[in-house]
Amino acid sequence: MSHLPKRVSSTAALFFALLGASCATMKQKESLEKLKDSVDDYNHAFRWKNYPEAAKHLPEDQRAAFVATYEDNGEGLEIEDLQIGQVNVVNPTYAQVVVRIRFTLLPSITIQKKTAIQHWHDVEGRWHLEKEDNSILKPELIGPAPTGSGTAGDHRFFDGAAPIEPPEVESPDSELLPDPERKDLDKDFEPSPDD
């Protein structure tokens, strides 16, 4: 009879350990679903020039600058195609998303191609696009950024480190999430010399 409490406590410990692992896995899955939804919502809104809706996925202090940049200078911008490529989940709160964009920007009628790298962070359960390397519109097209924080013209969204190359091989510390519907993503997409 003295062995019964040890067995019960061992079984209970195992149960709670498995329950904890299960909850952690469910939280990760839920977080990845939120990331996917945020990436899709932002890029869909951006694709169709709904800049205020797209800006909802940026940190609050960057929204006004983003909307002003694209509404004031993006009237000649037409997105021909936008493809969400590889998603590299670096850690549970940070992911890089490769986005390939085909567009025209008046006065040019030539279709241009860019590969942008979006940097997403999970802040208190909500994914925010904090930075995009290789954006279509850059600060030099709209003039110098004024000093201050969180005002229209604050270009931190566009600034930062030089564009990074998309990951080519799976890192043991990251989880790659390929989209099976986009198997031929790179087949017809050749980066332009500006990428």
pTM: 0.62
Instruction: Return the pLDDT at 7.
Output: 52
119 Cβ partners below 8 Å, 6+ apart? 94, 95, 96, 129, 130, 131, 132, 133, 160
For the ranges 11-25, 128-142, 174-188, the lowest mean pLDDT is seen at: 174-188
The CATH fold of domain 3-182: Nuclear Transport Factor 2; Chain: A, (3.10.450)
pLDDT digits 0-9 by tens, 53-112: 999 999 888 888 888 888 887 778 999 999 999 988 888 889 999 999 999 988 888 999
pLDDT of residue 32: 84
Q: Are 86 and 169 in contact (CB under 8 A)?
A: no
Q: Over the stretch 131-174, which tens digit does the pLDDT of each residue have?
A: 899 888 764 333 333 333 333 333 444 444 333 343 443 433 44
What is the rounded CA–CA span in Å between residue 99 and residue 54?
A: 15
- The mean pLDDT of 34-38, rounded to a whole number, is 90
Which phi and psi (to 5°) does residue 122 adopt? -90, 115
More confident residue, 150 or 177: 177
Kindly tell me if the per-residue pLDDT of 38 is higher than 60: yes
- Residue 69's pLDDT is 85
Residue whose C-alpha is closest to residue 87's, from 74, 79, 76, 96: 96
DSSP letter assigned to residue 40: H
pLDDT at 94: 92
Contacts of range 168-173, beta carbons closer than 8 Å, 24 or more positions apart: 171/88, 173/90, 173/91
pLDDT digits (tens, 9 = 90+) for 44-66: 999 999 999 999 999 888 888 88
Angle at 72 between CA 68 and CA 76, to 5 degrees: 135
Q: Mean of the pLDDT values across residues 21-48?
A: 82
* DSSP summary character for residue 57: T
121 token code pair: 């962070």
pLDDT of 119 > 90? The answer is: yes
Q: Dihedrals φ, ψ of 72, to 5°?
A: -80, -30
Band of pLDDT at residue 117, cut at 50, 70 and 90: very high
- What is the model's pLDDT at position 71? 86
C-alpha–C-alpha distance, residues 161 and 141, integer Å: 19
Can you give the residue ranges of every domain in the chain? Answer: 3-182
Q: What is the pLDDT of residue 170?
A: 40
